[in-house]
């Protein structure tokens, strides 16, 4: 690039200043830098037909989290002498218009493995290449480059955590690329840019402020949260999943950094580096897969598996996914989604999902197992869709990977191990405080009945002002018989998959002969 010319920094994820190699490169030698974020209406604007408030693709909590993250990024850029330029429309078309209008010589953006960005980037890159624009698109959303790991493994993604960790080794050491100033924005011409809109300006008019998740978006929040977590060195050193308490909601048992990692308000390399620094100062610490550092490796594991597996987000055409004849039962799906299963532990978690957009990992295990192979035998793709919409940390690779896991469709195959919707939660929270908080209709139910309120005598229900079947639903299934039936169906499906695989390998060996 000729020195003194203009570059465009295209923010998508990676909504941060720290450890942002694309931003650093955009600033190098440039006279003007245009920091751009494009609002895709499909992602942000209201869809009146969706099952919960929000757009076609995202629930309101995640949209609000993203807006907060953009406001924070804009403030940080202003401190560095610049600002965030917000555009609205089809991102590919708008980007190309800006490249032309602003006579851009260098285009910088973080590499993204999600199918949405893979398709979008081809369009923009093709234009930039033809126009002679330099492209810089580094891998900085994950610790490792998924392509490198796949190459090291002979062209296929590793499908077990252990083989992933062995192949991956140590992530590249952290180069602290914090930018100290950003060259000013140049002339804007006819490109219509605005400030970050408010949720109301996007068209969400009937919103009360307490409708939102307690977790606020942005790099500043992310760094504050990281600092707070890292203060307790002993906690970091002894972190051991799955030992935490999934019902702890006043003070969650894990970091709640996932939404910040999802939008790149926090760099996973920066997080990894901080954990490593703590490990150096303590006599002993836990190790992967259960340690805190091990959690970040899970993240990279799923990114690599997702990137290297065609049709990773569906059962059909996905070579690593067991083919299972799931039930197509919209009534059961709705009861699960709307927190009306009649199992308070499951329903309270689903309310937490809707209100907070975040739940503990084991709580996610409970409801995903219940919907699929544990009780309802509903397709994992349907549950995935609900999580994808409502989670504030909703992440294409991680969400699909974990649904494949929990439904015993891939990665994990012990389908006889089912979470009880009654006793699992009780083990952590015998008084049912988590249930009382998220399902206030049960707040006066005595603790003996809080996990199985349908067993309470009518006099107890009356005293608790909650008649089961009226104020709170009866269970949609009997867990004992439903889980037994699910195990049998899974057994049959596994046997069928084995036969199918046998046939495929027989055909393969005949073809080789
Ligand atoms: P911590 O325990 O503090 O871990 C730190 C970071 O490690 C997390 O922020 C996350 O980035 C990563 N991590 C932890 N556990 C996992 C895991 N099992 N797989 C991959 N990365 C992990 N996580 C998402 O970020 N987005 C999703 O869409 C998502 N969907 C899920 C769906 C199901 C059915 C299940 C069972 C789990 C899902 N998870 C998802 C994984 C996990 O539950 C969350 O990452 C974790 O609970 C986030 O809380 P935390 O930040 O406090 O995690």
Strands of the sheet containing 6-11, edge to edge, are 85-88, 32-39, 6-11, 104-108, 134-136
Contact 135, 107 (CB under 8 A): yes
Question: CB-based burial of residue 164 (10 Å sphere; 0-12 exposed, 13-18 middle, 19+ buried)?
Answer: buried
Contact 454, 468 (CB under 8 A): yes
Share of the chain above pLDDT 70, in %: 96
Cis peptide before 448 (omega within 30 of 0): no
Q: Does ligand 1 come within 6 angstroms of the Cβ of 267?
A: no
Q: What is the rounded end-to-end Cα distance, in angstroms, of the chain?
A: 55
Q: In this model, does residue 173 exceed pLDDT 80?
A: no
Q: Does ligand 1 come within 6 angstroms of the Cβ of 326?
A: no
Q: Does ligand 1 come within 6 angstroms of the Cβ of 367?
A: no
Q: Does ligand 1 come within 6 angstroms of the Cβ of 255?
A: yes
For 378-415, how does the pLDDT look when each residue is reduced to its tens digit (9 = 90+)? Answer: 999 999 999 999 999 999 999 999 999 999 999 999 99
Cβ atoms < 10 Å from Cβ of 121: 21
Q: What is the pTM of this model?
A: 0.96
Contact 393, 259 (CB under 8 A): yes
pLDDT for residue 334:
98
Contact 408, 415 (CB under 8 A): yes
Angle at the Cα of 73 from the Cα atoms of 207 and 261, rounded to 5 degrees: 85
**pLDDT category of residue 452 using cuts at 50, 70 and 90:** very high
Position in ligand 1 atom list of the atom nearest CA 383: 34
Protein residue closest via CA to atom 31 of ligand 1: 399
Protein residue closest via CA to atom 49 of ligand 1: 256
CA–CA gap between residue 360 and residue 355 (Å, rounded): 14
* ipTM score for this prediction: 0.99
Q: In this model, does residue 61 exceed pLDDT 80?
A: yes
pLDDT for residue 510:
59
CA–CA gap between residue 475 and residue 468 (Å, rounded): 9
């Amino acid at each position: 690039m000729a020195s003194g010319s203009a570059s465009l920094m295209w923010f998508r994820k990676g909504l941060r200043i720290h450890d942002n190699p694309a931003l650093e490169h955009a600033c190098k030698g440039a006279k003007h830098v245009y920091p751009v974020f494009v609002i895709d209406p499909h992602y942000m604007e209201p869809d009146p037909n969706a099952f919960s408030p929000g757009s076609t693709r995202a629930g309101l909590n995640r949209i609000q989290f993203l807006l907060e993250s953009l406001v924070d990024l804009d403030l940080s850029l202003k401190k560095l002498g610049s600002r965030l330029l917000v555009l609205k429309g089809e991102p590919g078309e708008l980007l190309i218009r800006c490249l032309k209008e602003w006579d851009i010589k260098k285009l910088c953006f973080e590499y993204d493995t999600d199918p949405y960005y893979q398709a979008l980037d081809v369009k923009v890159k093709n234009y930039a290449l033809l126009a002679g624009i330099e492209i810089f698109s580094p891998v900085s959303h994950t610790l490792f480059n998924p392509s490198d790991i796949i190459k090291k493994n002979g062209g296929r993604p590793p499908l077990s955590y252990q083989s992933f960790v062995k192949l991956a080794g140590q992530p590249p050491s952290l180069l602290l690329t914090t930018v100290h100033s950003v060259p000013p924005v140049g002339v804007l011409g006819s490109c219509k840019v605005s400030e970050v809109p408010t949720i109301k300006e996007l068209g969400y008019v009937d919103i009360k402020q307490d409708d939102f998740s307690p977790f606020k978006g942005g790099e500043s929040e992310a760094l504050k949260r990281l600092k707070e977590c890292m203060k307790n060195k002993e906690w970091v050193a002894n972190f051991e999943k799955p030992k935490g308490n999934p019902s702890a909601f006043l003070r969650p048992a894990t970091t709640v950094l996932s939404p910040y990692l999802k939008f790149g308000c926090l760099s996973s390399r920066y997080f990894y580096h901080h954990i490593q620094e703590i490990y150096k100062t303590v006599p002993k610490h836990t190790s992967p897969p259960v340690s805190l550092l091990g959690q970040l490796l899970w993240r990279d594991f799923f990114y690599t598996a997702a990137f290297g597996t065609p049709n990773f987000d569906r059962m059909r055409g996905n070579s690593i996914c067991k083919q299972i004849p799931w039930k197509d039962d919209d009534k059961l799906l709705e009861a699960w989604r709307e927190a009306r299963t009649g199992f308070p532990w499951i329903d309270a978690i689903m309310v937490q999902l809707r209100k907070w957009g975040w739940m503990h990992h084991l709580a996610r295990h409970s409801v995903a197992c219940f919907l699929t192979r544990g009780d309802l035998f509903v397709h994992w793709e349907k549950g995935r869709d609900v999580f994808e919409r409502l989670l504030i940390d909703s992440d294409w690779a991680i969400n699909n990977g974990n649904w494949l896991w929990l439904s015993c469709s891939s990665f994990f195959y012990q389908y006889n191990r089912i979470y009880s919707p009654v006793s699992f939660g009780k083990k952590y929270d015998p008084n049912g405080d988590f249930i009382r908080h998220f399902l206030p209709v049960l707040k006066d139910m005595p603790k003996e009945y809080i996990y199985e309120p349908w067993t309470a005598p009518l006099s107890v229900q009356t005293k608790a002002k909650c008649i089961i079947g009226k104020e709170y639903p009866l269970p949609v299934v009997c867990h004992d018989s439903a889980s037994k039936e699910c195990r049998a169906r899974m057994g049959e499906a596994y046997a069928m998959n084995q036969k199918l695989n046998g046939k495929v390998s027989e055909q393969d060996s005949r073809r080789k002969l």
